[in-house]
Amino acid sequence: MDFSLTDQQLEYQAAAANYAEKIAPDYKQREKDGFVSAELRREMGSLGLIAPELPVELGGRGLDRLTSGLIVEQIARGDFNVSYVQVVGSLVGQILAQNARPEIAAEWVPRICSGESIVAIGLSEPEAGSDAGMPRLTAQRRDGGWVLNGTKSMSFNQSADAVVVFAKTDPESGRGRGISAFIVPLDADGVTRERFEDMGTTAVGRGAGHFKDTWIPENHLLGEEGQGFTQVMKGFDFSRALIGLQCLAVAKVTVDETWEYVSRRRAFDQPLSKFQGVSFPLAESETLIAAAQLLCYQTLWLKDQGLPHTSQAAMCKWWAPKVAFDVVKDCLLLHGQFGYKTDRPIEQRLRDVLGLQIGDGTAQIMKMIIARQAVGREFAP
């Protein structure tokens, strides 16, 4: 078992680290602005830091998925929200590359990789949450295409140019059946957007897309009709590992800063780091981060090898965000009154990583997936 990185992986890791260092000073300003600028996205794209695992002919770099994870990890150290551009880019880019008609993939995937466009993902719905198997968004054939009616929750609500949605095309079918996936340009007739006022990840800009008699051409169907849920959902195993590394990176940079702070800050005539009550929690945090990080790396490696990784991906998604939140919270407390101030990034990181215990699959759903992989659906919740 080889834990070393290749020269190419180290090269992209370093490029992402340099980019993260450049964007870090404006982390809080982007929260106030409420968006990630197109200029930053295009710079990411020019460096090959968005969906680099996609084929070269579609604008990617043809790299392995582990490299994609290393990139997310480094960018998140500078700005958690900017790193989400890469997470969504890899998830949606993969969905389109594998399921879209060739002309649609050629239109959208290069724009994702270059940072020119964001294509959001609309799986859940405001009133359904984790019940993605019974969408209320409907799609009906009409005039050589499809007409959509309903609402979807999505990230990058204000910035995205299009969204991949899951809609019911067979209303008589049961849970998880008769669902088709579509790509919908957000400038289509009948589309309106609503921004949510969230407590964190405001630069990502979560919200809802409302579709009222929105017509799209036939070729905007992704994969086969009625098979969208089973075909497209496979891509989420990949993004769950990326999200794990995204959250852990925030925890690690916060731990690094806290070690520096407690080594410099003095109480009772000695550095705070001399006290076991201070250093032991940080040592525990280092251990938890390292263990969760290896799990995420393993998941991406398994995907690169074409091996099963659904359980590992679900473990990444429920455990890593929880570890990250707990670690950042403990670090905030170790900073004392200074950690509670808003002029430091710790409180923003705490709010940002909390959202990933909800979005893209809750811990309860992930644990159900793990149980079903272990004993089968008939014996699991």
**CA separation, residue 231 to residues 119, 181, 235, 249 (Å):** 18, 9, 8, 30
**Contact (CB, 8 A) for 228 and 222:** yes
217 with 291, same domain? no
272 with 365, same domain? yes
What is the domain range of residue 341? 232-379
Does residue 1 sit within a domain?
Answer: no
100 with 191, same domain? no
93 with 188, same domain? no
Helices (H), the chain: 7-23, 27-33, 38-46, 65-78, 80-99, 102-114, 228-232, 236-264, 276-304, 310-334, 346-354, 363-375
Residue 215: strand pairing partners: 147
Q: What was the pLDDT predicted at 131?
A: 67
- Mean pLDDT across the stretch 192-204? 93
Cα–Cα distance for residue pair 357/372, rounded to 1 Å:
20
Tally of structural domains, the chain:
3
Last residue within a domain, chosen from 97, 117, 137 = 117
Residue 216: strand pairing partners: 146
For residue 51, what is the domain's CATH number? 1.10.540.10
* pLDDT of 132 strictly over 80: no
Q: Which tens digit of pLDDT belongs to each residue from 229-248?
A: 777 677 789 999 999 999 99
206 with 242, same domain? no
For residue 178, what is the domain's CATH number? 2.40.110.10
Cα–Cα distance for residue pair 207/36, rounded to 1 Å:
15
113 with 125, same domain? no
* pLDDT of 277 strictly over 70: yes
Does residue 22 sit within a domain?
Answer: yes
237 with 371, same domain? yes
180 with 259, same domain? no
Last residue within a domain, chosen from 85, 117, 149 = 117
Does residue 2 sit within a domain?
Answer: no
Between 276-304 and 310-334, two packed helices, what is the crossing angle to 10 degrees?
160
28 with 108, same domain? yes
Does residue 342 sit within a domain?
Answer: yes
- Mean pLDDT across the stretch 271-288? 95
264 with 345, same domain? yes
**CA count, 13 A, side-chain hemisphere, 126:** 12
282 with 362, same domain? yes
Amino acid, single-letter form, for residue 5:
L
Q: What was the pLDDT predicted at 174?
A: 63
Does residue 304 sit within a domain?
Answer: yes
127 with 211, same domain? yes
